[in-house]
Chain A
Amino acid sequence: MAMSLAFHIIFAALGIGMPLLMALAEGMYLHTRQPVYLELAKRWAKGTAILFAVGAVSGTVLSFELGLLWPKFMEHAGAIIGMPFSLEGFAFFTEAIFLGVYLYGWNRISPRAHWISGVVVAVSGIFSGIFVVTANAWMNAPAGFKMMGGQITDIDPVAAMLNPASFHEVLHMTLAALAATGFLVAAVHAFFLLRDRSNVFHRSALGIALALACISIPLQIISGDVSARAVAGLQPAKLAAMEGHYRTQTGAPLLIGGIPNDDAMETDYAVAIPRGLSFLMTHDVNAKVIGLEEFPRDQWPNVRVVHWSFNIMVGSGMAMLALAVWAGWLWWKHRCLPDHKWLLRALVAAGPLGFVAIETGWMVTEVGRQPWIIYGVMRTADAVTPMRGLVVTFSTLTALYIFLAVIVVFLLRRQFLETTRPDPARSTEATDA
């Protein structure tokens, strides 16, 4: 399951970001009437189509898998958080329909209607992301029901959907998808620009992708701050694990890196910024921050995994922020697309960073919630299917996902490579299809 989700989150994030880029490019075309933007919209639309088709397959698998692996979880949670899944189904459906219109309607509907259907694809993509994330948020901050002697009563699906963790998780994940897609796409086009600095196609592409990346990453850092403080309130054990913070103390230092040691209850060899954690959490350098010692040992998540993942995520985010500042500064100075050789090289290197941050961030939220599957309500071990030989299902599905990932990478690579040698036969085929 973890494996499938780890793959799905990549398809999903690209599935949120790519349609937006595609719609932006076509919008630029309608605005400027420069054919290069039209070519760009078509190219990105192909990428979107591949990701969507694979995303649809992996989404189908996931919807079954929830039940195949966690039947007890679904039995209890279905009535409470099935709602966002159903809404997600609709959003996804809308996306599928309008993607069909978009891909096959280039010559069949007016350019304006065509662009609007692209916008609908982008918007419904964002919405399906939002709905699914609220379900995950509910696992972290369960709301909208009461437990009476092991029985769930007073279900309120709306309250469950609008649980206290929804806002910051949705914000953080949506921005993450946009920033990660922006940086990945920017990296691809920066790579080609390094070879041929005057290629108009790649210059336009880099412009749009970089704008998306540079706008979303600073917002993302702010939403990260909001998220961390919300987690401190909702799941103090998770926060303590993220920070490698064992002992409750006032004026707590911020620990970066190091090796969390559960037995000694200390994080060894970490770089400590005095009073940093207290300041970040409450904006007061002397505030008290709760440590893991307040919680029974069997309710600790794996501190090392959570702390390290968290550090990697924040590190990646900061690196992307630095790049965005650099690019923004160059743009402000020269008033044109920043194409400094070293910036392009840095962008190529930073391409995967957004996805590194998404994967590690996802580890933080999932591993940080353990041993619970529904925080404070149901343990993961109680939710798993009674099916024996689960390892077979598990490894089969994992193999399938790896297979899917390989296919996507292979096809997208081919699509990207094609941009270097545009083939007139293929582009007319795409228009007529």
Chain B
Amino acid sequence: MLELIVAIFIVLALILYALLGGADFGGGMWDLLAFGPRAEKQREAIADAIGPIWEANHVWLILVIVLLFTGFPRAFASMMIALHIPLAAMLVGIVLRGSAFVFRKYDSKDDAVQRRWSTVFGVASFFTPFLQGLTLGALTTSRIRVADGAVTTGFFAGWLTPFALACGVFALGLFAFLAATFLTFDTKDRPELQEDFRQRALGSGLALAPVALAVFLASKHGAPEMYAGLTRWWAPVLLVWTSLFALVALVALYLRRFALARFAAIGQVTLILIGWSVAQYPNLITPDVTIANAAAPEITLRLLVRALGLGAIVLLPSLLYLFSIFKSDKRH
């Protein structure tokens, strides 16, 4: 029971990371892909949107990791061994992206240098989430095997499969869609920019559908247990809701109902991650490592759950405070 609570918290942190950090990644992608007469203005809007809460967004990933190694130390150790290569590569992306962002923000506006950092930022915004999607996908492929606490399948298992690659692409598309949708809302006082981002949101949203289908089809062979999970009784319900949210988001974008589009996109991403988690349950690394057999001793879990409760009491109001200050334009 306790391990389930910790696992739920991990999924929650992952969802928040996808929503907030994911939108940042997407922003980076659109920064790199900015084109047309308003390219510079688009970049400025992206930088404004990412700026204030950028620091907080990326702490969600740290939270996922510390919860994983405190609550499920064995699973953490196995993941870090089996997925050493893509994770190390992802870290390179995180460092490049972070430093490029800091550089752009705090250095003076020398155009040539700024442009180069923007490119680094954009490129890293592509391959970091790609590797994250790929890693998450690899965990469900059943290719990574663990026996007696040791990874037996080496360092290349799972993450080079078509399924994992499709998951990486899906993460990219999802974050791009999310960011563009958020940006339509953030640029509500600049109609031309809003129109630019609306087109991007519609484009990436439509492109997401075939990718999602590809992930699903690839899962039949690439991640059989996941596929089995997705075809259980509850799956159609979740699938219908997810598709509904996706559809609402697209229609709302089309009708320029941007607040609704943002809401639906948030719902869509949340449901995708919930669906993913439920389909994977109770495995952490399919099929050998589960939340039951990798869980830390009960006393650790109990303390962790308490710490999480306490942390939520401190953090949630603080976070709401930050959002409320930032979103209101009232000035003293």
Asked if A433 is an interface residue, CB under 8 A from chain B, the answer is yes
Asked if A400 is an interface residue, CB under 8 A from chain B, the answer is yes
> With A67-B80, A82-B69, A82-B70 in contact, do A97 and B299 touch (Cβ < 8 Å)?
no
Evaluate contact between B55 and A99: CB separation under 8 angstroms.
yes
Main secondary structure of the interface of A (DSSP, over half): helix
> With A80-B300, A385-B84 in contact, do A67 and B77 touch (Cβ < 8 Å)?
yes
Main secondary structure of the interface of B (DSSP, over half): helix
Q: Quick one: which of B3-25 are within 8 Å of A by CB?
A: none
B residues near A110, Cβ cutoff 8 Å: 332
Chain A 83-107: CB-based contact to B (< 8 A → 1; otherwise 0):
1011111101110111111011101
Asked if A74 is an interface residue, CB under 8 A from chain B, the answer is yes
Evaluate contact between A75 and B315: CB separation under 8 angstroms.
no
Evaluate contact between A100 and B315: CB separation under 8 angstroms.
no
- A292 to B: closest C-beta gap in Å: 34
Evaluate contact between A65 and B91: CB separation under 8 angstroms.
yes
In the assembly, what is the distance between CA of A82 and CA of B107, in Å? Answer: 37
B residues near A107, Cβ cutoff 8 Å: 331-332
Q: Quick one: which of B105-156 are within 8 Å of A by CB?
A: 105-108, 149-151, 155
Residue of A nearest to B149 (CB): A75
Interchain residue pairs A-B with the least CB separation, the first 6: A82-B70, A78-B73, A67-B80, A57-B98, A79-B296, A75-B77
In the assembly, what is the distance between CA of A403 and CA of B79, in Å? Answer: 27
Chain B 77-115: CB-based contact to A (< 8 A → 1; otherwise 0):
111110010011001101100110111011110000000
In the assembly, what is the distance between CA of A264 and CA of B302, in Å? Answer: 53
B residues near A373, Cβ cutoff 8 Å: none
Evaluate contact between A56 and B315: CB separation under 8 angstroms.
no
Interface residues in chain B, defined as those with a beta carbon under 8 Å from any beta carbon in chain A: 51-56, 58-59, 61-63, 65-67, 69-74, 76-81, 84, 87-88, 91-92, 94-95, 98-99, 101-103, 105-108, 149-151, 155, 296-297, 299-300, 303-304, 307-308, 310-311, 314-315, 318-319, 321-322, 325-326, 328, 330-332
Asked if A64 is an interface residue, CB under 8 A from chain B, the answer is yes
> With A82-B304, A411-B106 in contact, do A93 and B56 touch (Cβ < 8 Å)?
yes
Asked if A76 is an interface residue, CB under 8 A from chain B, the answer is yes
Q: Tell which of B149, B296, B308 touches A78, judged by Cβ atoms closer than 8 Å.
A: B296
In the assembly, what is the distance between CA of A393 and CA of B80, in Å? Answer: 12
Residue of A nearest to B295 (CB): A79
Residue of B nearest to A432 (CB): B331
Evaluate contact between A89 and B59: CB separation under 8 angstroms.
yes
Asked if A225 is an interface residue, CB under 8 A from chain B, the answer is no
Q: Tell which of A54, A74, A158 touches B102, judged by Cβ atoms closer than 8 Å.
A: A54
The number of residues on chain A lying at the interface, defined by a beta carbon within 8 Å of a beta carbon of chain B, is 70
In the assembly, what is the distance between CA of A393 and CA of B51, in Å? Answer: 31
A-B contact count (CB 8 A): 216
Evaluate contact between B73 and A60: CB separation under 8 angstroms.
no
B residues near A54, Cβ cutoff 8 Å: 98-99, 102
- B214 to A: closest C-beta gap in Å: 29
Q: Quick one: which of A46-84 are within 8 Å of B by CB?
A: 46, 49-50, 52-54, 56-61, 63-68, 71-72, 74-80, 82-83
Asked if A415 is an interface residue, CB under 8 A from chain B, the answer is yes
Evaluate contact between B98 and A108: CB separation under 8 angstroms.
no
Evaluate contact between A96 and B59: CB separation under 8 angstroms.
yes
Q: Tell which of A57, A66, A158 touches B69, judged by Cβ atoms closer than 8 Å.
A: A66
In the assembly, what is the distance between CA of A86 and CA of B273, in Å? Answer: 23
In the assembly, what is the distance between CA of A397 and CA of B91, in Å? Answer: 8
Asked if A157 is an interface residue, CB under 8 A from chain B, the answer is yes
B residues near A282, Cβ cutoff 8 Å: none
Chain A 6-39: CB-based contact to B (< 8 A → 1; otherwise 0):
0000000000000000000000000000000000
